[in-house]
Structure 1
């Protein structure tokens, strides 16, 4: 063998050896990583080669699977009352991925979670039978909110204050997730994505907005906790003709300067007197206001276990004295979701204890064995029980004598707070109409928050009591009437 052939042979042997080393490395060390790679189409195909597990409401599946007749994707997701439950389920799409509970529990629902595997599944490397996700949603409360929101753009959330269970979460407009479950639903996706995706926007969880006068509950809680208010029926000494501190700008109240002159905190909450709560916030200062807001969940991404983000916001950056005063009435840069305001009212109704809100009670395997349970959620005493009692007392006055009258439920104790929040440059957009309330009867309790972004109501008639309170009433009646 001449020198040239020998060198070529050695080089070829080295190439073969390098190839063997590479193959061994890929199979032994990188195989699992490549198999799990999100760009591996086989994984996506595998997710839909069998029926998916289900999301459960009240013991009934609100999801299903149907055969496609296709070679790769043999099944696709189906939904029962898709628009009704879309804010909870989200979607499971062969082309566009997953969202909400479909996304958080994707591996449970498609059988790839390691906790689902039996010894035989492990031996055969077979995908396990899928598990199920049991929600805390109450069908009656969910349907009541959905029906009441028709014809309006907005959102509503209900919580059981004692357990933290989310009983309802509704957005309108909503969407039918069943339209985009297949691999060829591009036109439906384009339609739902139009107008910046508002049809699929989860206002309840992920669109913080100015809470308006509903935030006065937070201001009042801070004032009581910090000793600024000890008697909700004592005159405050705050003039009705009020100028925002540090400015020459008058701050009017809808009830009028005379009606809000030197009133008690109870009366100020009933009439929604801006002067009283702006002055309380000004006296408390930014740090004490923010501390109270953060105890109630502001500035924190709330796990539901579907995370609510961006977080509801009370400003952390240094504010001027006039800006602090404006936060006292839920304006300036305060932002909240309906979930957040329902949490505020939930803590008030529950004696000052805030139980972590959640929309899933259990996650099970195909045989019903519990893999995860959320029946003992975290709770925090965010205000004194006496403070909560004083707030409840004042909120009852709003519901019996003030703008919250439309929220009354026969035979139940109801307390509430209305809110109207200005929007846009020079108030160019329609105001937000808010209402938050609690109701209790015969050992059952519920906390609700509703926001209406747009309706066919004349601008002069937009208000939380007129637009949002009747929706809250139907939700509370659906729960308390059982």
Structure 2
């Protein structure tokens, strides 16, 4: 009898081992196949089974989570969704994630191993930590000023802190509310269809994902190249520039919107925004040095992330002299995002040093303790410090005596550059109005904010479009909001 009991016990033990081995085979070896099976909804149920961490602006969350009591239990919510959509993006149970919701998904969803006190144990048990929070660099007052300034128009605003690269505002208009996309029902599908069918493309982040011809704002780059190369040695010296100017190898005559550009000095040409002077300067600097300067500012960089990717701003690297002349005034194939042009203004404001922009100040654990801090990124010298000093003086004259008067702020030093960029077949499109600028408060040791504004404004009268009239007041409002935040 004892022998039979022993045999039965051994057989049961073997059965138990077989069950354990089979369970391990299913859970470990075959897990990827089950996870990838479209019929398996467990991963989705698990993903939305707990609240998502929040994105914070100015110390308060602009996102949240709503308990739906359904299989996909927690749904994303947004506070002032259209205002912060170019920063947060959306987190949808149907359509995935974009922008910060995507770039910081590991932290927000709780899957990042850094959130787990015992990562290996979590891997074995497939447990998930609570989602952490993402603290942004956005200044709520500056964001609101930019959003209000673009109300009813197409365009974008990007604002930076020159000394650190912190992004203070990132606005795209028209915007959209991410909230209706959050769920998985018919309402989310209808919202998705409606937004994608909208001809104004509200889900396009114009501040970082759309490039425009920068027009005369690019003359800041051309002036930096000319001063660094020694093509121009004195701001007040004549440049021997004809009006009109015929680029080499062509019969096309380039003209100016302003009078007084013939043989103008760099100071006069910058204030009057003389196309002829800057086209000729670009040719004299040469393609090699113009390309090097543009790339030092960030053009042609495909790797810029803030942390989500930024569209590559371009300066053509293979140009004949005529093409170089047009590229040097921000036309031909030269294209830039508003963020890129804010970087140009920030480099001038920061003594010729450019710090790459960043949007995330730090990430935190659910309890609030810091998980990782960003900090200022390494700086690169894009022009001589003496060149930056002279460019700041030129930009101040634009605001004090030139086309950028509407950007002036009482009690502050403000520098700027207007731009009106032609585009379309035969330049038939409504021009884009640009303004790039920086501002330094009366008690500040250095400029505190650099801004780039572009206004598409397709409904405006073509003759009324101008960087000084359309874009400068928006930049002024953003700079004023930053300077007043003490």
TM-score (norm 1): 0.91
Question: Against the structure 1 CA distance between its residues 197 and 183, is the aligned structure 2 distance closer, same or farther, given a 3 Å change threshold?
Answer: farther
Instruction: Measure, in 2, the Cα distance between the counterparts of 1:345 and 1:260.
Output: 24
Report runs of 4+ in structure 1 exceeding 4 Å deviation: 19-26, 32-40
Query: In the alignment, which residue of structure 1 is the partner of 2:9?
Result: none
1:368-420 per-position Cα deviation (integer Å, ceiling 9, x unaligned):
23222111312111111101001001011101111100000111100000001
Question: Does the CA-based 8 Å contact 2:174-2:200 persist in structure 1?
Answer: no
How many pairs were matched up?
A: 460
1:151-166 aligned within 5 A: 151-166=152-167
1:94-105 aligned within 5 A: 94-105=93-104
Question: Against the structure 1 CA distance between its residues 125 and 26, is the aligned structure 2 distance closer, same or farther, given a 3 Å change threshold?
Answer: closer
1:196-235 aligned within 5 A: 198-235=201-238
Instruction: Measure, in 2, the Cα distance between the counterparts of 1:130 and 1:28.
Output: 25
Query: In the alignment, which residue of structure 2 is the partner of 1:303?
Result: 305
Query: In the alignment, which residue of structure 2 is the partner of 1:84?
Result: 83
1:127 and 2:148 are equivalent in the alignment: no
Question: Does the CA-based 8 Å contact 2:315-2:334 persist in structure 1?
Answer: yes
The offset of 1:34, in angstroms, is 5.3
Query: In the alignment, which residue of structure 1 is the partner of 2:4?
Result: none
Question: Does the CA-based 8 Å contact 1:92-1:102 persist in structure 2?
Answer: yes
Question: Does the CA-based 8 Å contact 1:36-1:43 persist in structure 2?
Answer: no
Counterpart of 1:474 (choices 468, 473, 477) is 477
Instruction: Measure, in 2, the Cα distance between the counterparts of 1:30 and 1:347.
Output: 54
Query: In the alignment, which residue of structure 1 is the partner of 2:46?
Result: 46
Query: In the alignment, which residue of structure 2 is the partner of 1:172?
Result: 173
Query: In the alignment, which residue of structure 2 is the partner of 1:5?
Result: none
The offset of 1:44, in angstroms, is 2.3
Query: In the alignment, which residue of structure 2 is the partner of 1:188?
Result: 191
1:257-336 aligned within 5 A: 259-301=260-302, 302-309=304-311, 311-316=312-317, 318-336=318-336
Question: Does the CA-based 8 Å contact 1:345-1:436 persist in structure 2?
Answer: yes
1:404 and 2:404 are equivalent in the alignment: yes
Corresponding residue SS for 1:156 = strand
Corresponding residue SS for 2:430 = strand
The offset of 1:114, in angstroms, is 1.3
Question: Does the CA-based 8 Å contact 1:347-1:382 persist in structure 2?
Answer: yes
Counterpart of 1:255 (choices 255, 258, 283) is 258
Corresponding residue SS for 2:94 = coil
Question: Against the structure 1 CA distance between its residues 126 and 410, is the aligned structure 2 distance closer, same or farther, given a 3 Å change threshold?
Answer: same
Question: Does the CA-based 8 Å contact 1:212-1:330 persist in structure 2?
Answer: yes
The offset of 1:455, in angstroms, is 4.7
Query: In the alignment, which residue of structure 2 is the partner of 1:445?
Result: 448
Corresponding residue SS for 1:415 = strand
Question: Against the structure 1 CA distance between its residues 298 and 140, is the aligned structure 2 distance closer, same or farther, given a 3 Å change threshold?
Answer: same
Question: Against the structure 1 CA distance between its residues 40 and 211, is the aligned structure 2 distance closer, same or farther, given a 3 Å change threshold?
Answer: farther
Once structures 1 and 2 are overlaid, which stretch shifts more, 463-472 or 118-127?
Answer: 118-127
Query: In the alignment, which residue of structure 1 is the partner of 2:60?
Result: 60
Query: In the alignment, which residue of structure 2 is the partner of 1:464?
Result: 467
Question: Does the CA-based 8 Å contact 2:355-2:376 persist in structure 1?
Answer: no
The offset of 1:253, in angstroms, is 0.5
Query: In the alignment, which residue of structure 2 is the partner of 1:392?
Result: 392
Question: Does the CA-based 8 Å contact 2:166-2:376 persist in structure 1?
Answer: no
The offset of 1:31, in angstroms, is 2.7
1:80-99 per-position Cα deviation (integer Å, ceiling 9, x unaligned):
00000000000000001000
Question: Against the structure 1 CA distance between its residues 38 and 379, is the aligned structure 2 distance closer, same or farther, given a 3 Å change threshold?
Answer: farther
Question: Against the structure 1 CA distance between its residues 450 and 97, is the aligned structure 2 distance closer, same or farther, given a 3 Å change threshold?
Answer: same
The offset of 1:195, in angstroms, is 3.6
Instruction: Measure, in 2, the Cα distance between the counterparts of 1:379 and 1:86.
Output: 29
Instruction: Measure, in 1, the Cα distance between the counterparts of 2:24 and 2:412.
Output: 71
1:303-347 per-position Cα deviation (integer Å, ceiling 9, x unaligned):
1111102x000012x222100110110000000000000000000
Query: In the alignment, which residue of structure 2 is the partner of 1:380?
Result: 380
Corresponding residue SS for 2:448 = strand
Corresponding residue SS for 2:437 = strand
Question: Does the CA-based 8 Å contact 1:151-1:455 persist in structure 2?
Answer: no
Question: Against the structure 1 CA distance between its residues 247 and 73, is the aligned structure 2 distance closer, same or farther, given a 3 Å change threshold?
Answer: same
The offset of 1:20, in angstroms, is 11
Corresponding residue SS for 2:197 = helix
The offset of 1:248, in angstroms, is 1.1
Instruction: Measure, in 2, the Cα distance between the counterparts of 1:303 and 1:37.
Output: 33
TM-score (norm 2): 0.91
Question: Against the structure 1 CA distance between its residues 197 and 53, is the aligned structure 2 distance closer, same or farther, given a 3 Å change threshold?
Answer: farther
Question: Against the structure 1 CA distance between its residues 37 and 99, is the aligned structure 2 distance closer, same or farther, given a 3 Å change threshold?
Answer: farther
Once structures 1 and 2 are overlaid, which stretch shifts more, 218-227 or 32-41?
Answer: 32-41
- Give ranges in structure 2 of 5+ residues lacking alignment: 1-18
- Give ranges in structure 1 of 5+ residues lacking alignment: 1-18
Instruction: Measure, in 1, the Cα distance between the counterparts of 2:439 and 2:40.
Output: 51
The offset of 1:423, in angstroms, is 1.1
Question: Does the CA-based 8 Å contact 1:55-1:132 persist in structure 2?
Answer: yes
Question: Does the CA-based 8 Å contact 1:435-1:472 persist in structure 2?
Answer: yes
